[in-house]
Amino acid sequence: MFRIAIATLLAAVSLTACAQQTPPTTAATASAAAPAADGPVEKRVRDALKELDPNFKPEYIGAAPFPGFREVIVSGQVLYVTDDGRFLMQSQPYDIEKRAMATSTGLLQYRRGLLDTLPHADRIVFAPPNAKYTISVFTDIECGYCRKLHQDIAELNRNGIAVEYLAFPRMGLGSKDYTDMISVWCADDRKAALTAAKGGAAVPSKTCTNPVAMQYNLGQQLGINGTPAIFAADGSQLGGYLPPAQIKAALERIGTAAAGSR
């Protein structure tokens, strides 16, 4: 899977954001990803990027979580451009006070909109009664840290955390990993099939109408390039594998911040 080639962008050569299959644009994802109407600063940034490369088509431009910059999203990758359109920065800053990656409300809303297009019925859910928190986890059945996180399911549930799995076969569409994940999602008992697959058991072949490609493509729109990728309900990306205690602490911080902003 190829991601944004920033070096190519900065050289003002054609920018491409490719994957093994181009994510389809459905009415739902188009609506979720649609940016707000440009203000003068957003227009200046958009025009500067278009001047750099006419093929550069941001999916979202909004205020960054720190002054002087606009946040730009293209194929899920977050970039930062100065309000005057002169400088571009690739790295996402870390918010020391919040102990998390710096994230704007616009970016969180954008991610929530994308995640909301994936039906709950298409997810494989491990939830306790009266869950206090829910995390969406893009997973792969082969990666070691995905398997390690799955071993923590019982502990996460005991901490009041529901886990909703989404498919992200990291070897790409058409790979054995992809077809195995289709078999898992088509199993009569998807939870048991996923647990067995993550335990290293052979996956009995099965096909059906399934959401694996759709979930994978949307994961790319979110900028996922590794698994597991954990998202909180507000759209915050918590990271890759984290122990249950750290996931709970992160969710509590998000909940406290949300309560304080009301």
Beta bridge partners of 77: 74
Amino acid 38: pLDDT: 65
Indicate the residue type of 76. G
Is residue 170 flagged as an active site residue? yes
Catalytic residue among 146, 147, 152, 177: 146
Amino acid 56: pLDDT: 81
Structure tokens at 163: 């886990």
Amino acid 86: pLDDT: 93
Catalytic residue among 143, 147, 152, 180: 143
* Alpha-helix residue ranges (DSSP H) falling in 16-85: 27-33, 40-52
Is residue 146 flagged as an active site residue? yes
* Alpha-helix residue ranges (DSSP H) falling in the chain: 6-10, 27-33, 40-52, 105-115, 144-151, 153-158, 176-186, 190-198, 212-221, 244-260
Structure tokens at 28: 């739902």
Question: Quick count: other Cβ atoms within 10 Å of Cβ 150?
Answer: 22
Catalytic residue among 46, 123, 170, 177: 170
Amino acid 16: pLDDT: 28
Amino acid 32: pLDDT: 47
Judge whether 214 and 115 are in contact, CB under 8 Å: no
Question: Quick count: other Cβ atoms within 10 Å of Cβ 171?
Answer: 16
Amino acid 112: pLDDT: 94
pTM, rounded to two decimals: 0.80
- Which residues are within 8 A (CB) of 25 and not within 5 positions of it... i.e. 6 or more apart? none
Task: Kindly report, residue by residue over 93-127, the tens digit of the pLDDT.
Answer: 888 887 777 888 999 999 999 999 999 999 999 99
Q: Which of 138, 146, 149, 116 is nearest to 224 (CA)?
A: 138
Q: Which of 106, 9, 93, 104 is nearest to 51 (CA)?
A: 9
Is residue 140 flagged as an active site residue? yes
The sign of the dihedral angle between the CA atoms of 238, 244, 248, 253 is: negative
Q: Which of 251, 249, 255, 237 is nearest to 78 (CA)?
A: 237
- Which residues are within 8 A (CB) of 189 and not within 5 positions of it... i.e. 6 or more apart? none
Amino acid 258: pLDDT: 56
Q: Report, as ranges of residue numbers, the positions in the chain whose pLDDT lies below 50.
A: 1-5, 7-36, 260, 262
Task: Kindly report, residue by residue over 24-66, the tens digit of the pLDDT.
Answer: 334 344 444 444 456 899 999 999 988 888 888 888 899 999 9
Amino acid 53: pLDDT: 83
- Residue in the block written with tokens 């181009």: 22
